[in-house]
A and B are shown apart, each in its own frame.
Chain A
Amino acid sequence: MPEDKEKSALEKLEAKLIKMWKQSGQASVISGRHTEFVVEPKVFMGDKLHPDILKFLVQGYLANTSTQDSGAGNDIEISPEKLVIKGPDGKKMIVVRDKEIIRQYIASQS
């Protein structure tokens, strides 16, 4: 059934995202006496991404891209207050106001 196929695809994608997120070291671990619990975020919140997952992906995107990549269709506008990632149609797709992310990106570009 197509519905099962869609579920399996999203589940695979969700599992992959959680695995990447755990490997990034941002997972929260609750240690008990005899066991540990790893708090996993819910990746898809309706039609949106979980904010922690989105932040992780944006950090990876900015770490692997540069202003020279803007010719591929994705443009990045940066100012001390915010960093804007534009979509393929040139409209604002993601606005980053995290000062640490902006500082890291400026440092990587200089």
Chain B
Amino acid sequence: MGMLDANVSAAPISRVESQRGASGIQPNISVSKDYIEDLIHNKIPQITSSPQDPGRFARRKLDPASENPVAQPQVAPSPPRRVDVPSQQPNLEAAERTAAFQPPIVTSPKYSALDLLLVLAPHLADPEFEAQVVEAHNEQAIIAGEGNYA
């Protein structure tokens, strides 16, 4: 069993530690206890943005007495709005429209088209038309009779 000459040596793994972690840089800020007490009790003015000049900061001193700086206007409740509803009057226009929708000529469902033509044709002063109506009616009757036997 031969030996392999390996000239490869494992390089030591360098450990990269984050400089941003908590273990890295210690904050160079020291705040006294009195400052925090004053900040809690609003004794120190805070820096806020001015709406008139948004690019700059303006100092605004909070009034510790007013818990609600934006006062809501007191508005008296308005009485309920009264809407006058017209009294119920017979809608004549709607009735006329309903009457207009009725067909001007209505036939009884008992009579077919040929039945009506048989009654109307003799009074139309057209013998040819009357003969055609009678012929069509007779043929319809014959067809109906054959249908009954089938």
Contact = CB atoms under 8 A, between A and B. Distances in A.
Binding between chains A and B:
yes
Interface residues of B, number: 31
Interface of B is mostly: helix
Contacts of A61: 120, 123-124
Given A5-B139, A12-B132, A93-B111, A65 B105 contact: no
Nearest to A50: B113
Contact of A94 (B102, B107, B112, B124): B107
Contacts of B119: 74, 85, 87-88, 93
A10 interface: yes
A49 B113 contact: yes
A47 B112 contact: yes
* Interface SS, A side: helix
Interface stretch (B51-59, B73-81, B140-148): B140-148
B139 A9 contact: yes
Question: What size tier do the contact residues of chain A reach?
Answer: 35 or more
A60 B124 contact: yes
A69 B123 contact: yes
A58 B104 CA distance: 11
Nearest to B135: A9
Interface in A17-72: 17, 20, 44, 47-49, 51, 54-55, 57-58, 60-61, 64-65, 69
Given A20-B129, A64-B124, 5 more contacts: A6-B139, A61-B123, A93-B110, A97-B102, A97-B103
Interface of A: 2-3, 5-6, 9-10, 12-13, 16-17, 20, 44, 47-49, 51, 54-55, 57-58, 60-61, 64-65, 69, 74, 85, 87-88, 91-98, 101
